[in-house]
Chains A and B, each alone.
Chain A
Amino acid sequence: MHRRFRAVFPDAQLKGAHVLKRASKHLVKLVTTALLGGLLGATLVRFAPGFDVDVRELDPRLSSLSVEELRQQRRADDNLTHFYGRYILNLVHGDLGFSHSLNQPARKLFAQRLPVTLREIGVGLLLGWLLGLGLATSVVVLRAWPVDLLASGLSATLLSIPAAVFALTFVFLRAPADLAIALIVMPKIFSYSRNLLRRSYSLPHVLTARSKGLSEIRVFLWHVVPTSGPQLLALLGISVSVAFSATIPVEALCDLPGIGQLAWQAALGRDLIVLVNVTVLITLMTVAANTVSDLLAHSLTREA
């Protein structure tokens, strides 16, 4: 059976091994990123101003014994090895610290808020991709300068507006925040995909297909999409990063209880451990998205 499979698909095993090798490389990268990100985060927290100060010591209700116990707990962190070890161990066990400003464990806050952010990003990305790719496709296929000018002008204007202003506008208009994320992501998708599609349209085989009289739709679907598809997929990872970035102003200003708002509240309340851990987790999610898009793009390129 195995021999027959290899006879029919001689490249299948080689290709599978290649994809597996690439995937394992990405996995190593993901684990190292987590470890390095954790250590970097711990370093930032450890050396940030005010690390060795605890305002609870000023509480007049605490006895001298309680104050001494708090100091003992802090003294344990003076030892760097102990501090890093404990920090990483806590992360591995899913302990993301305690939010002093929100008075809750960060893990609980993260679990409550992650679905809100994921939903918002999912809808935002979907709409952003539909709008950006749709606009880019119409510009490239129609090849009419008024459409190009209008689309480029719109994209340039949207690129020039800070994400926070989008958020304020959507609060004012009482429009859904997902649309704000879509409008933030859209111009980036548009400009990259338009450039990619234009490049694909100038390739010799596409020019030949068009000169032979193939319909525009057929040229686009059969010749342009397979060429630019893998690169467009690689753009998916970048758009996830852009969307995550946009969640901070959008959620903070639209009062959405998501991860972006948590990061902002942690920043203002100087919940450093929570903030750094949230950032590390978001980075991991972005790296994972990049990995998936890279693997998909890679497998499609090999097939092409």
Chain B
Amino acid sequence: MKVARAVALAFLLAIGSVSLLANLLAPATYAEQFRELPNAPPSSRHLLGTDDLGRDRFSRLLYGTRVSLLLAPVAALSSTILAALIGGVAGYLGGRIETAAMWITDLFLSLPWLFLLVAVRALLPLNVSPQVSVIITFGMLGVLGWAGAARVVCASSRSARDSDFALLARASGVKPARLFARHILPNLTPALLAQFWISIPVFILAEANLGVLGLGVAEPLPSWGSLLRELENYAAIGRQPWLFVPLLLLVAVVTCFQLVLPKAELPA
């Protein structure tokens, strides 16, 4: 299992590095059109061929990977911070505040995830520039994805609050805010780290779903979601198996994220 984890981590690092170097490695920019070569098959010039608009698929895959692979962790970080604040404070304070916070968390968890995302996305402006659509999509994931993590963090915070060291600190006259920041929060790190890792593949998949439904990152900026939309071209996918490359990469990356997460930190 350790070998599998090491391989998964190495694969993620390699993919991350390659996508970061997209500017240098990609033969073209993501929006550059080769109008004389629409729907071209793979060649030495275009490794994965070109799309309907004559854009180099390999370049778009590199840039799209960069968007998804860099921004999903940013969204995961935001949701983990929110979970730490909501769950951590609720567990630390306990009583009615904890009950109310957990009730709101339960309400959030009852909302089917994609229904929530689609509803909130529709409430925000739909016709926006690609850059704004990226911020909206991943910002929304970061703001709405805290509930599951908050529940776990709340339980950890509650047990840290009731532990002997917290009792000793309280007896020594440490103020509540300092106790939370200096003693409770560092003890929540393992739970927060696990939630951060769990959130990344969830957000990558959510972005992909939104992208295929036309509610994700706007064209011409590529992301895994928008790249997967090419699979809707049923007439072409039988003849052009290279259209599956973005899907294979996505599946490989998400599987690697699952492998990297230690088994002990997986939810029951």
Chain A residues engaging chain B, CB cutoff 8 angstroms: 29, 33, 36-37, 44-45, 48-49, 156-157, 159-165, 168, 171-172, 191-192, 195-196, 199, 241-242, 244-246, 248-249, 252-253, 263-264, 266-268, 270, 272, 275-276, 278-279, 282-283, 286-287, 290
Beta-carbon contact of B118 and A264 below 8 Å: yes
Measured between beta carbons, the chain B residues less than 8 angstroms from A244 are 112, 115
Asked if B247 is an interface residue, CB under 8 A from chain A, the answer is yes
Which residues of B are found within 8 Å of A283, using beta-carbon distances? 107, 110-112, 115
By a CB distance below 8 angstroms, the chain B residues around A162 are 205, 208-209, 212, 225, 228, 250
* Cα distance A185–B64 in the bound complex, in angstroms: 28
**Stretch from B14-22, B39-47, B70-78, B122-130 that touches the partner:** B122-130
Contact A160 B250 (CB under 8 A): yes
Do A286 and B112 contact each other (CB < 8 Å), given the known contacts A249-B209, A276-B119?
Answer: yes
Q: A160-B255, A267-B215 are in contact. List 7 more A-B contacts (CB 8 A).
A: A37-B107, A44-B120, A164-B213, A165-B228, A168-B232, A191-B266, A263-B118
The interface residues of chain A, by DSSP majority, are classed as: helix
Most buried by A among B120, B123, B124, B250: B123
B interface residue numbers (CB < 8 A to A): 103, 107, 109-116, 118-126, 201, 205, 208-209, 212-215, 225, 228, 231-232, 234, 237, 247, 250-252, 254-255, 258-259, 266, 268
Q: Can you give 10 contacting A-B residue pairs, CB < 8 Å?
A: A33-B110, A48-B123, A242-B112, A248-B114, A248-B115, A248-B213, A249-B209, A267-B121, A275-B119, A282-B111
Interface contact B228-A164, CB-CB below 8 Å: yes
B251: chain A residues at CB < 8 Å are 157, 160-161
A241 touches B122 (CB 8 A): no
8 Å CB contact of B123 from A44, A195, A282: A44
| Contact residues in A for B214 (Cβ distance below 8 Å) | 268
In the bound complex, what is the Cα–Cα distance between A282 and B119 (angstroms)? Answer: 12
Asked if A164 and B255 sit within 8 Å, CB to CB, the answer is: no
Are A165 and B247 in contact, CB atoms less than 8 angstroms apart? yes
Are A245 and B268 closer than 8 Å at their CB atoms?
Answer: no
Nearest B-chain residue to A48, judged by Cβ: B123
Cβ-defined partner of B212 (8 Å) among A164, A242, A245: A164
B209 close to A163 (CB less than 8 A): yes
Q: Which residues of B contact A199 (CB under 8 A)?
A: 268
User: Closest A-chain residue to B234, C-beta based?
Assistant: A172
Could you tell me if A171 and B209 are in contact, using CB atoms closer than 8 angstroms? no
- The answer on a CB contact under 8 Å between B110 and A286 is yes
Closest to B113 in A: A245
Give which listed residue, B213, B234, B254, B268, contacts A249 with CB less than 8 A: B213
Q: Which residues does chain B contribute within 8 Å of A192, judged by CB atoms?
A: 268
Q: Is the CB of B112 within 8 A of A241?
A: yes
User: When the two chains form their complex, are residues B122 and A272 in contact, meaning their CB atoms are under 8 A apart?
Assistant: yes
Within 8 Å CB of A245, what residues of B?
112-115
Closest Cβ neighbor of A289 among chain B residues:
B110
Q: Quick check: B114 and A163 within 8 Å, CB to CB?
A: yes
Please, how many angstroms separate the alpha-carbon atoms of A162 and B216 in the complex? 14
Smallest Cβ-Cβ distance to A196: which chain B residue? B268
If the complex has contacts A162-B209, A249-B213, A290-B110, are A282 and B122 also in contact, measured as CB distance less than 8 A?
no
CB distance from B250 to the nearest CB of A (A): 7
Question: Which among B113, B114, B232 has the greatest number of chain A C-beta atoms within 10 A?
Answer: B114
- Quick one: closest A residue to B210, CB to CB? A164
A263 touches B119 (CB 8 A): yes
